[in-house]
Amino acid sequence: MDREPLGGRGSATSRQLKRMDWISWLQWPAFVASVGASWLVASNAKDRRNAGFWVFLASNVLWGIWGVYSSAWALIALQVCLAVMNLRGLGKTKEASSQN
């Protein structure tokens, strides 16, 4: 007897699981963005440092989305705090460039 399991192929539950599965992979672009942003922020060039803070903000959003999906509430809180610090960094790089 070939019975399809609950939530089998083609069911709404199966499609929803496949759709949500891509979010589990979101941690990898978030990881790459975080590492790349760290590299840029450490630069001596103001434009690269500024770009680094923008990339960090993008990584905060990616980590936040993944955190909601994974119910990682401490990670979400951390990303909010880091986003505030990244906004501060953006402000400081803007101030430094307008002084020169």
In a structure prediction context, what are the per-residue pLDDT tens digits for the chain, which is 100 residues long?
A: 555 555 555 666 766 666 667 888 899 999 999 999 999 999 999 999 999 999 999 999 999 999 999 999 999 999 999 999 999 999 998 877 777 6
Contacts of 90 (CB under 8 A, 6+ apart): 50, 53, 54, 57
Residue 1 burial (CB < 10 Å; 0-12/13-18/19+)? Answer: exposed
- What CA–CA distance (Å, rounded) separates 42 from 50? 10
Angle 60-64-65 from CA coordinates, rounded to 5°: 125
| Predicted local confidence at residue 87, as pLDDT | 97
Count other C-beta atoms under 10 Å from residue 57's C-beta.
Answer: 19
| Predicted local confidence at residue 20, as pLDDT | 66
| Predicted local confidence at residue 7, as pLDDT | 52
Residue 45 gets which letter from DSSP?
Answer: S
